[in-house]
Chain A
């Protein structure tokens, strides 16, 4: 009992000391940054690198999905919301109703890769084929429907792997593949992060999934994508995302409430500068403009 008390007291004193120490080393500015799962790794890398640029500013990163970040911006709990999709009209209206004016900043581009199991012999898939695979009332239920036999996949039934419905990747893929007037098939496995999609597709011969190119591993296969069946296809890569030749590449956004000011503006300018853009391209995304990095 006595030692417990002593320990508790020591811990308390240490915590108090830390708090005072932190307080005296000038008031540090804390930037709250939340949202897109696709961007979370880059956001983390930016935050870490920015510590060396300006040690008075700390950036706190939280993931959770684009919807999470946008909701937080609307609810007024973050300075910067990361999103892998543009804000919807409904969300902008809601934000305005709550006295917020979201301002959009493009911070990079991402190629959305379509993943299959590494034993899957498929080479290229067209947008049309993907729409029949993923879209409601789509006719493609089995791999054999598109002339492919996947070894180790019983019944050749396509196992659809998707994302939870607040994910920007989910929304962008729907728009790019199915268009505005079509929804996903019911019965997709809705994973809670890009990494979960990769994990499941890696282990499941029947599966097909999608997520940002940056999450690709060497144990998984990426399909070459064409507009129509028979067209020349393009493989996802930083280069093809940058020159926009890859058909399902999307801009990545950061949103602020009103035009950014003060430390947030400095941070955003740094992200869009050479240093920030080199970090995003090193993480497997395309920068907003050509930059020279070492």
Chain B
């Protein structure tokens, strides 16, 4: 663009042109910068407009959160209550964290503290590759590989359950958690390690006693972002949970996730119907939850919560 300015013009003109160019680019960058905010606000306004009037006028909020009965198409008495789905999402996400935390922390510690040279680069690439696998592929693995495996191993009637979805979701969340945890570990200044080593600490002691405590906030942030990922994941849990409205009492129970319910039903309801608005109410709830989790993660990473 700079070469695009005509050669014959005076320095003063060129300055003005550059000045304008500068302003235009500045404006564009500003638009790009605030677009995230505009989008977030826009999405929030959209889902609230579709769901809030229903939530405020027709919905018994206490029953909404305390009854498992989700029967939007009942001819007898349609009910829109989401306790079973909250239990489903929470149990699957909980199990996913049990699976993902040891995996991702282990991987992050190894990559950041122990691995060197080519091993380290290869591992980082692999972790990023793992994060790029589409969720429908994970769902397919849950459906066609994990399902028969769980039936065989645990002798249960159906393998589409919390265990299946939890393992799948844990493996999905692990790469992202690994990346963030690794960043947190790398952010710990080398002087900490050098000081610990100078005191005669072994590698393990350096990691456990010096690096991990210093990176605590970042690691907690990684876990929280993993939780957010778990709450928001849709396709894989739709395929692996068994999609059953059920208050679980063991990890072999089929459940249904909030996100999966929206995915399975929204395209098939008449715009503006009660069912449609109830699904948007779930959307508001999910939005608020993920917002809180992300905010919490952000605050923790920034170390606002000193402990």
By a beta-carbon cutoff of 8 Å, the part of chain A in contact with chain B is 64-65, 67-68, 70-71, 74-75, 88, 90-91, 94, 153-155, 157, 159, 164-166, 170-171, 174-175, 180-184, 186-192, 200, 203-207
Contacts and interface: CB of A to CB of B under 8 A. Distances in A.
Nearest to B256: A190
A181 B243 CA distance: 24
Contacts of B272: 94
Interface in B147-192: 148, 151, 155-158, 160
A109 to B, nearest CB: 21
A166 B148 contact: no
A64 B84 contact: no
A186 B254 contact: no
Given A67-B269, A186-B246, A157 B73 contact: no
A155 B156 CA distance: 9
Given A166-B265, A189-B158, A70 B270 contact: yes
Chain A's interface: helix, strand, loop or mixed, by majority?
A: mixed
Contact of B76 (A157, A165, A181, A187): A181
Nearest to A155: B157
B74 interface: yes
Contacts of B73: 67, 165-166, 170-171
Contact of B71 (A75, A166, A183): A183
A162 to B, nearest CB: 9
B221 interface: no
Interface in B253-272: 254, 256, 264-265, 267-272
Nearest to A65: B268
A155 B158 CA distance: 13
B14 interface: no
A64 B265 CA distance: 10
- Among B264, B268, B273, max chain A CB count under 10 A is at B268
B158 A64 contact: no
13 contacts: A64-B268, A67-B73, A67-B269, A74-B270, A88-B75, A94-B270, A164-B264, A166-B73, A170-B73, A186-B69, A186-B247, A190-B244, A204-B158
Contacts of A166: 73, 265, 268-269
A154 B244 contact: no
Interface residues of B, number: 34
Contacts of A181: 76
B242 interface: yes
Given A74-B270, A165-B71, A188-B244, A159 B157 contact: yes
B160 A180 contact: no
B72 interface: yes
A169 B157 CA distance: 24
A75 B268 contact: no
Contacts of B265: 164-166
A67 B268 contact: yes
- 9 pairs of A and B residues whose beta carbons are closest in the complex: A68-B268, A206-B157, A187-B246, A166-B268, A71-B270, A165-B73, A67-B268, A74-B270, A189-B244
B156 A154 contact: yes
Nearest to A184: B71
B198 to A, nearest CB: 54
- Among B74, B160, B271, max chain A CB count under 10 A is at B74
B157 A71 contact: no
B28 to A, nearest CB: 27
A188 to B, nearest CB: 6
Nearest to A91: B270
Given A186-B68, A186-B245, A200 B76 contact: no
B163 to A, nearest CB: 15
Contact of A189 (B155, B160, B273): B160
A193 B265 CA distance: 13
A68 B267 contact: yes
A75 B254 CA distance: 34
A135 B55 CA distance: 29
B158 A159 contact: yes
Given A75-B271, A187-B246, A165 B72 contact: yes
B264 A186 contact: no
Interface string B188-213: 00000000000000000000000000
